[in-house]
């Protein structure tokens, strides 16, 4: 028996063939990925079973994360870890200064990395420990679960620990019972599998002995066309297309789309008080172009430069044919109404908590430290569900609004020029610099946290980069500190510092221009290197820009459109 075990351990896998090696290179380096989401039809009994599986996965994830965090704290208390980390930080800082002994420092840095890795191994703060610990929990207590989803939740726990150890994470978040965990598959042919019924010509998802049919809307051409590509390319002719792509790659030609399924995951969402299930299918290749009901393409692709000044709440755009200024993440007037409803419910929840739990608060209104018991009324729980649904609506509205704005930009041009933005830095509170001399009050530390929460400029920039690159365009980021778009004057060719509260730029001839749109114009007229505005290009393009600018401002005033932080007064 022992000999058989030793033989099993020493058994080696067959090396991959040359064909497989080239195919893996194509899939890892030359194949983009995209995700489609389709709702699933889940029966009541299946829902209860999925709920039970989800609860078991939540417990495993929290248990593994708690064990990892406990081991990490024990390691962090050791003198060796503190010494190594301090030395690592000092060398990393010195290397940024490009010293003469850079090679020696890099060599020492490599040795420190190895020592820190060995320390993590000795204290069981590794993914291998998390995976094995999760597998033991599954074998002993949670035998209903499969190995793949347990592996996935262990990976989720490890990513949380990585954020704490190597990034800006502070404390781990443990999932509550009300949180809906994701069922994550690792491969297309295991665990969560998309299948096609040839007799009925319908797709369904198979997971844990349960089959969930896909609920496809009647006029959803995008999902219908994508699923037909999965069937025709990947399920029927997958092997043949792989062979063709290997030949094309070796010949230096572009590869054909495969629509091969990378992996599947099942996501649960609470929508208007009901739990609904969706499958997210990760596919290789570019997504199909969206079409209208008549079959024509929904979005056009433009060419040319676009200058974009993206703020925390609004965006100003300047191109050859268009100038417009609008709020970010705004689809209609309902956006402001939803934000107001969220604020009112949050205030009600705070008042209710204070009324039902007076013992948990100090005299000055702050929450007492230590372990506390909270009592929540029925109306509080009902309002909490309403708030959760409003946040979901606001999130979806922001996403759709950003996508619509980016598609509009792509129809205007193919090169978007913007300034670099440190969104993380803007949302953090400022340092406490003491009190105001006149009033004796503490200086406000608030910055742009709420604005960024409601308008999501970082997500807009991320999606713009992705969508422009996907359609053959480009997003160029210009250094804010060297370009100085908000300070430059193209007529006098000088830079003057302006306070953030000044929303209008006055030219030497007395012309007043809205600050964000003028910055967008300067970005549009940047030089080829993207280091500074091109004065000659500014002089040539300014007359056309001024005509379009006046039309834009007049349209905002006539429509009584409120643009946040623009300085445009609506009478």
Q: What pLDDT does residue 93 have? A: 87
Domain count, the chain: 3
Residue 10 has what pLDDT? 54
204-249 pLDDT per residue, tens: 999 999 999 999 998 889 999 999 999 988 888 888 888 998 898 8
Are 223 and 324 in the same domain?
no
Cα gap 180→269, rounded to integer Å: 7
Cβ 146 vs Cβ 191: under 8 Å: yes
Give 364-421 as a DSSP string.
TSPBPSS-------HHHHHHHHHHHHHHHHHHHHHHHHHHHHHHHHHHH-SEEEEE--
Question: Which residues are within 8 A (CB) of 537 and not within 5 positions of it... i.e. 6 or more apart?
Answer: 525, 527
Domain coverage including residue 524: 305-332+383-431+450-559
Q: Is 25 a domain residue?
A: no
**Could you tell me how far CA 8 lies from the centroid of its own chain?**
43
The answer to whether position 207 is within a domain reads yes
Indicate whether 231 and 310 sit together in one domain: no
Domain boundary pick from 252, 284, 316: 284
Give a yes or no: residue 8 inside a domain.
no
Least Cα distance to 407 among 477, 476, 470, 327 occurs for: 470
Report pTM: 0.86
Answer yes or no: do 499 and 395 share one domain: yes
Average per-residue pLDDT for the chain: 90
Last residue of a domain, one of 226, 253, 284: 284
In terms of domains, do 76 and 223 share one? no
The answer to whether residue 514 is domain-embedded is: yes
**Residues 155, 213: one domain?**
no
Q: How would you class 230 by CB atoms within 10 Å of its CB: exposed for 0-12, middle for 13-18, buried for 19 or more? A: buried
Residue ranges of the chain with pLDDT lower than 50?
Answer: 1-8
Stated as kind and residue range, the H or E segment containing 212 is strand 210-215
Asked, for residue 346, whether it belongs to a domain, the answer is no
Residues 76 and 218 in one domain: no
Torsion of CA 182, 202, 220, 180, to 10 degrees: -10
Q: Which of 149, 181, 213 is the last residue of a domain?
A: 181
pLDDT, position 425: 85
Q: What is the pLDDT of residues 469-524, one digit of tens each?
A: 988 899 999 988 889 888 999 888 888 888 888 899 999 988 999 999 999 999 99
Judge whether 465 lies within some domain: yes
The answer to whether position 131 is within a domain reads yes
Would you state the pLDDT for residue 59? 96
193 and 105 in a common domain: no
One domain, residues 173 and 210: no
Q: Are residues 502 and 467 in the same domain?
A: yes
Q: Are residues 218 and 315 in the same domain?
A: no
161 & 199 share domain: no
- Are 108 and 167 part of one and the same domain? yes
Residue 571 falls inside a structural domain: no
Contacts with 339 (C-beta within 8 Å, 6 or more apart), sequence order: 394, 454
């Amino acid at each position: 028996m022992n000999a058989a075990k030793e033989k099993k351990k020493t058994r080696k896998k067959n090396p991959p063939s040359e064909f497989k090696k080239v195919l893996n290179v194509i899939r890892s380096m030359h194949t983009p990925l995209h995700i489609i989401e389709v709702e699933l039809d889940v029966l009541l009994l299946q829902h209860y079973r999925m709920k039970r599986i989800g609860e078991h996965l939540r417990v495993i994830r929290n248990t593994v994360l708690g064990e990892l965090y406990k081991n990490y704290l024990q390691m962090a208390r050791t003198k060796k870890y503190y010494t190594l980390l301090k030395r690592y930080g000092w060398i990393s800082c010195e290397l940024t200064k490009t010293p003469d002994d850079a090679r020696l420092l890099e060599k020492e840095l490599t040795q420190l990395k190895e020592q820190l890795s060995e320390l993590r191994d000795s204290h069981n703060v590794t993914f291998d420990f998390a995976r094995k610990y999760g597998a033991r929990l599954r074998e002993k207590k949670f035998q209903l679960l499969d190995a793949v989803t347990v592996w996935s939740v262990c990976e989720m726990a490890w990513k949380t620990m990585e954020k704490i150890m190597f990034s800006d994470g502070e404390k781990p978040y443990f999932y509550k019972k009300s949180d809906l965990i994701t069922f994550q598959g690792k491969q297309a042919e295991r665990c969560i599998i998309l299948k096609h019924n040839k007799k009925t010509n319908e797709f369904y998802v198979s997971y844990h002995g349960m089959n969930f049919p896909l609920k496809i809307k009647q006029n959803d051409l995008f999902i219908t066309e994508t699923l037909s590509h999965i069937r025709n390319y990947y399920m029927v002719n997958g092997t043949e297309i792989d062979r063709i792509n290997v030949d094309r790659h070796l010949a230096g030609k572009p590869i054909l789309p495969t629509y091969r399924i990378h992996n599947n995951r099942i996501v649960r969402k609470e929508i208007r008080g009901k739990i609904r299930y969706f499958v997210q299918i990760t596919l290789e290749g570019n997504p199909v172009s969206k079409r209208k009901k008549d079959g024509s393409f929904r979005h056009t692709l433009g060419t040319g430069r676009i200058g974009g000044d993206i703020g925390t709440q609004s965006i100003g755009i300047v191109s050859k044919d268009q100038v417009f200024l609008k709020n970010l993440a705004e689809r209609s007037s309902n956006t402001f109404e939803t934000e107001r409803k969220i604020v009112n419910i949050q205030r009600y929840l705070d008042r209710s908590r204070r009324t039902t739990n007076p013992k948990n608060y100090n005299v000055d209104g702050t929450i007492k430290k230590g372990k506390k018991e909270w009592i929540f009324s029925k109306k509080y729980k009902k309002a909490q569900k309403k708030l959760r649904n409003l946040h979901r609506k606001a999130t979806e509205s922001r996403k759709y609004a950003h996508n619509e704005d980016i598609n509009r930009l792509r129809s205007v041009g193919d090169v978007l020029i913007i300034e670099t933005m440190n969104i993380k830095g803007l949302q953090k509170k400022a340092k406490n610099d003491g009190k105001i001399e006149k009033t004796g009050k503490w200086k406000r530390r608030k910055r742009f946290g709420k604005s960024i929460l409601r308008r999501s400029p970082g997500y807009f920039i991320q999606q713009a980069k992705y969508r422009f690159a996907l359609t053959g365009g480009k997003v160029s980021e210009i250094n804010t500190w060297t370009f100085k778009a908000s300070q430059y004057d193209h007529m006098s060719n000088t830079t003057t510092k302006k306070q953030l509260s000044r929303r209008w730029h006055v030219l030497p001839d007395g012309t007043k221009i809205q600050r964000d749109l003028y910055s967008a114009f300067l970005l549009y007229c940047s030089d080829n290197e993207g280091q500074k505005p091109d004065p000659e290009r500014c002089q040539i393009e300014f007359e056309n820009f001024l005509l379009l600018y006046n039309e834009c401002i007049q349209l905002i005033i006539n429509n009584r459109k409120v643009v946040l932080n623009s300085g445009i007064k609506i009478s």
